[in-house]
Amino acid sequence: MTPIKMLYRGLRLNPQGVAIADGAHRLAYSQLVERMEAFAVFLQKNLSRKQSRVGICAHNNWQHVVAMLGVFASGHIWVPLNPRNSRDELAGIAAAAELSLIVTDADFLSLFADLKCPLVVAAGGATGNDTVVAICERHAGCQPADITDPHDGIMAIKFTGGTTGSPKGVMQPYRAFMSCIASMLTVFGFTESERMLGIAPLTHGAGTFLLPVLAVGGCTVLLDGAKAPKISDVMLQEGITASFMPPTLIYALLDYASANGIRYPELRHLIYGAAPMSAARIMQAQKVLGPCLATIYGQTEAPTMIAAMTARELSDEKNIGSVGRPCPYNEVQIMGPDGALLPTGETGEVVVRGDLVMRGYLNRDDLTESTIVDGWLHTGDLGAFDERGYLTLKGRLRDVIISGGFNVYPTDVEAALSKHPAVRNVVVIARADDYWGERVEAAIVSSEKAAVTSDELIAFARSQVGPVRAPKAIHFLKEMPTNPVGKITRRDVLSVVESLEKGCV
């Protein structure tokens, strides 16, 4: 079965129900399928190369959804493009993917002005380009040719890695999407009454949850680039039951709801991922928002559902700090440097195998062979299982700090510092040091209502994790930097700290 069949399942369950809500614009399942099929027909007629690559760079809007689903139904390959990337980065991705077509909103057209690639406008004013709306009107009532069931065929190429050097394209097969959908439905139990707020970009988090919600006849409410007050209003107006948000966005919503005494009575699944949340913030969210906070762990090479934890599980204080248990349709183990699988309690690299795992990296057989070894995907994450099967991540392999001959896991130090009431957010970084080899330091965003000194925080950390793992210096930041997908990375934090020291910020 191909993932687009999940939309047809939703159509059978809820044909006149609202599938997509985009402000005042509502698409029933029957309308969404009609438009999706029309766009898929356009793609099949105009892209002659089998499995052509179609880039989509747009806001969270209904035209974006139609184009994305149309690519899935046409048998071509979806290449999500992040509009927060620079023109040069997008040009590099377009060249590496050999894009045959780009679908973009009118206000992003300038990002692709230098590319010799046909452009279709998703939403925006008159531009002279063909549009998703016009295409759907021209091909209304037409049905695309069925695609075969390519279990291992490529459905998407997603580019990941740093912003320097050659872009790294992850080839995600149909089986990975189906595994992800099946795990989401099994773990979270989405139903026809689901009203999922799509606030994370469709090119990333919100897009991953689209088909699982459509599969059960639920509704996705689209919102783009909104701040906490607007998000809160929409959640109340639309009776939102579920959403995926990065921790930074949850923090903003949590602070707003707490300050204004707002509650969201319909909310059942507030799912976070892409970065850890501190124990203090998790408990604050549970107190303010109720038992709705859940978490997922995945990466582009094994999308979204390597492991997960429901709100009920996360309500158990023993599970705070864990990313949950392995999802039912893949196998997860901890591996030592010698390739041996490690027992419960020991820290090593998280490895995954099963249908969720990527096909490989685009045009990078060497990198594929070093990342997938004997069927195991090497995630580059360090972790350990407890005796109940819950996985706790210790950071990235390359992030381990070797200080004074001891291995220091940044996440352990971050967890300790997060217990201090004055610490709102913390990232631990490594600095070169003649004595220690690597010196542990921490960047802190402190609570507005709390006053704390570096010495106090260092002393607190020493009491929690001992003198070797405690930071030797504290850097106070107004806010943590985020990358183009809204993630906080140690590299970006280190750059800000170095700039502050040089007086450049």
Model pTM? 0.86
What is residue 165's predicted lDDT score, i.e. its pLDDT?
A: 46
What is residue 505's predicted lDDT score, i.e. its pLDDT?
A: 56
With contact defined as beta carbons under 8 Å apart, do 203 and 222 qualify? no
Q: Nearest CA to 214 among 2, 1, 18?
A: 18
Q: How do the domains of the chain map onto residue ranges? A: 5-13+26-175, 226-397, 400-501
Give me the architecture of the 5-13+26-175 domain, per CATH.
3-Layer(aba) Sandwich (3.40)
What is residue 406's predicted lDDT score, i.e. its pLDDT?
A: 78
What is residue 161's predicted lDDT score, i.e. its pLDDT?
A: 61
Q: What angle do CA 344, 346, 350 make, to 5 degrees?
A: 90
CATH 3.40.50.12780 fits 226-397, yes or no: yes
Class of domain 400-501: alpha beta
Q: How far apart are CA 226 and CA 228, in angstroms?
A: 7
The beta strands (E) that lie in 286-375 are given as: 293-299, 302-309, 325-326, 330-335, 348-354, 360-361, 372-373
**Distance, CA of 410 to chain centre:** 21
Could you list the pLDDT tens digit for every one of the 505 residues in the chain?
Answer: 899 999 999 999 999 999 999 999 999 999 999 999 999 999 999 998 999 999 999 999 999 999 999 999 999 999 999 988 888 889 999 999 999 999 999 999 999 999 999 999 999 988 889 999 999 999 999 999 998 767 789 999 999 864 334 679 999 999 999 999 999 999 999 999 999 999 999 998 889 999 999 999 999 999 998 899 999 999 999 999 999 998 889 989 999 999 999 999 999 999 998 777 888 889 999 999 999 999 999 999 999 999 999 999 999 999 998 999 999 999 999 999 999 999 999 999 999 999 999 999 999 999 999 999 999 999 999 999 999 999 999 888 888 888 877 788 888 899 899 989 899 899 999 998 877 878 999 999 998 777 889 999 999 999 988 888 899 999 999 999 987 777 788 889 999 998 888 776 5
Domains 226-397 and 400-501 share a fold: no
Q: How far apart are CA 233 and CA 463, in angstroms?
A: 43
